[in-house]
A = this chain, B = another copy of it.
Amino acid sequence: VAFAPDGHILATASVDQTVLLWDLTYPTRPRRLGDPLTGHTDAVIGVVFAPDGHTLATGSDDQTVLLWDLTDPTRPGRAGWVIR
* Any B CB within 8 A of the CB of A39: no
Q: A10-B65, A24-B67, A65-B12 are in contact. Are A3 and B57 (CB under 8 A)?
A: yes
> Is A2 in the interface zone, CB < 8 Å from B?
yes
Cβ A82 vs Cβ B20 within 8 A? yes
Per-residue B-contact encoding for A12-54, CB less than 8 Å = 1, 0 else: 1111000010101011111000000000000000101111100
Question: What range describes how many residues of A lie at the interface?
Answer: 35 or more
Q: Are B84 and A1 within 8 A (Cβ)? A: yes
Of all A-B residue pairs in the complex, the 10 with the closest CB atoms, nearest first, are A27-B79, A12-B84, A7-B50, A1-B59, A7-B51, A30-B80, A28-B79, A28-B80, A30-B82, A3-B50
